A and B are shown apart, each in its own frame.
Chain A
Amino acid sequence: MIEFIMTIWGWFYPEIQTILIIVFKIIIIVLPLMLAVAYLTFAERKIIGFMQMRIGPNRVGPRGWLQPIADTVKLMLKEIIFPAQSNKFLFILAPVLSLTPALAAWAVIPFSDTMILSDIDAGLLYILALTSLGVYGVLIAGWASNSKYAYLGAMRAAAQIISYEIAMGFALVGVLMASGSLNLGDIVDAQSGGLFHWFFIPLFPLFFIYFIAGVAETNRAPFDMAEGESEIVAGFHVEYSGMAFALFFLAEYANMILISALTSVMFLGGWQSPIAGFGDSIFWFFTKTSLFLLLFLWFRATFPRYRYDQIMRLGWKVFLPITIAWLFILGLAIYFKLPPWFA
């Protein structure tokens, strides 16, 4: 059997073989990611429920474990309603535009020292570019819906995402300075040597700002102005239903996982174990990512929504000056070769 498959495999041109291998790798990444998104929604409902002294969904399947499956089936069977005054093409394009960057960014994430889809040298730049693209989905959705709430939500989201991207970019400049590379694998390698060599210690304010800005980027509580259920119903996706809505949902949660993964790669040493040379593996990467995901949910269970002007103040007048100031301090630390990180 295996020989038979290998013979068929041999018939393909080498170029096609390469493409097939890449497609296979993409499937290996995307399928578990989708599953993770589904069960992240379940985890969110359970964890927030527990924090509010409830127990969360518990009816579908044993202890509610089939709830995400039931939700998916429900959303797939639902009708997609197009508002009469909407721009149909943009209306259907918007959810795709918001999901694609969230998935595409996974191409350069190093799961372990060998498991990486595309080990490109400008990985960090690629990440920055793709995470900025997400705002177009939101903007176009709000515009194409031709609805007041959707439009307001889109405007809020656009302003917020663009503001926080600047602080996020500056925080990544700090990582770039500390590691001296744009390649995500090299960034993780630069943090080798156990817990105290990870960048979150010398770059603590940047680490902090990166994660908070990441929460704001993904429009999660307490920065969920774009959604703002109590003020503008559901914000930019108020007119969406069925699978189109599900795509926005997927994008939001995929972005959450992405931000968590990025934070653990940039600041917590990715696949490195906390004790030097003690089984560096994909396990540590997943552990750290889950830790940040838990924080996302914990924030949502705890904090009330920010006021709009306060969000803007935090982004421009607090985060931005701190990052720039810390870049100077970091520059000095690198210039004087501060041990143990920059020696």
Chain B
Amino acid sequence: MKNKIKQLIKSFSLLELLQGMRFTGKNYFAKKITVFYPEEKTPQSNRFRGLHALRRYPNGEERCIACKLCEISCPAVAITIESHCRDDGSRRTSSYEIDLFKCIFCGICQDACPVDAIVETRVFEYCFDKNEDRTLNKAKLLSIGDKHEKQIAYDRASNMTNKRGDREF
């Protein structure tokens, strides 16, 4: 009985509703957290997983040895690799394709890679207007890698030493 009266008073005084309105009212004057996107950007982690890239050694030799570990470990089956024997007798990829519509950007391919060849860069602003552009072929992957090599190398290094890597190149 006593509880019922208490409940009645509580609901008729609209205390909880007023509390809610006080909260939103206070937030009206709070500092706004909006990031003005094209002009401002949120900070990225050095483990950011964006567009893929294939890396090269400093002497220009491509890292990928066509072991196909990434292809096997890819949970979305987005990677297709074909390999051949190069003239010098080493095993290399003849084609390396990533279907960006299938890719879920989980980063398992770069974890699986024994030679740090396939990596995910910080690039996340891209688009395509033709359907065939959705597959990244070997040439495209290598060129992305060449373009962002400095950032990629810095991110790997800072990640190893466990530093915060928020530097941009």
Q: Quick one: given A53-B33, A54-B34, A55-B34, are A302 and B23 in contact (CB under 8 Å)?
A: yes
B34 lies within 8 A of A51 (CB)? no
CB-CB < 8 A to A53: which residues of B? Answer: 27, 30-34
B34 lies within 8 A of A302 (CB)? no
CB-CB < 8 A to A335: which residues of B? Answer: none
CA distance A130 to B28 in the complex (A): 36
CA distance A52 to B24 in the complex (A): 7
CB-CB < 8 A to B23: which residues of A? Answer: 302
B58 within 8 A of A: no
Q: Mark B42-78, 1 if CB is under 8 A from A, else 0.
A: 0000000000000000000000000000000000000
CA distance A54 to B34 in the complex (A): 5
Q: Which of A54, A298, A303 contacts B25 (CB 8 A)?
A: A298
Q: Mark A283-322, 1 if CB is under 8 A from B, else 0.
A: 0000000000000001101110000000000000000000
Q: Which of B20, B28, B31, B34 contacts A47 (CB 8 A)?
A: B28
CA distance A299 to B24 in the complex (A): 9
CB-CB < 8 A to A301: which residues of B? Answer: 24
CA distance A53 to B23 in the complex (A): 12
CB-CB < 8 A to B30: which residues of A? Answer: 53
Majority-rule SS of B interface residues: helix
Q: Mark B8-48, 1 if CB is under 8 A from A, else 0.
A: 00000000010011011101101111100000000000000
With both chains docked as a complex, state the minimum distance between the C-beta of A323 and any C-beta of chain B, in angstroms.
Answer: 14
A50 within 8 A of B: yes
Most buried by B among A54, A299, A302, A303: A302
A residues 35-51 with Cβ under 8 Å of B? 47, 50-51
CA distance A52 to B31 in the complex (A): 10
B28 lies within 8 A of A50 (CB)? yes
Q: Enumerate 24 A-B pairs (CB-CB under 8 Å) in ascending A order.
A: A50-B27, A50-B32, A51-B25, A51-B28, A52-B24, A52-B27, A53-B27, A53-B30, A53-B31, A53-B32, A53-B33, A53-B34, A54-B33, A54-B34, A55-B34, A298-B21, A298-B24, A298-B25, A299-B21, A302-B17, A302-B20, A302-B21, A302-B23, A303-B17
- Additional 6 contacts, C-beta under 8 A, given A51-B27, A301-B24: A53-B30, A54-B33, A55-B32, A298-B24, A302-B21, A303-B20
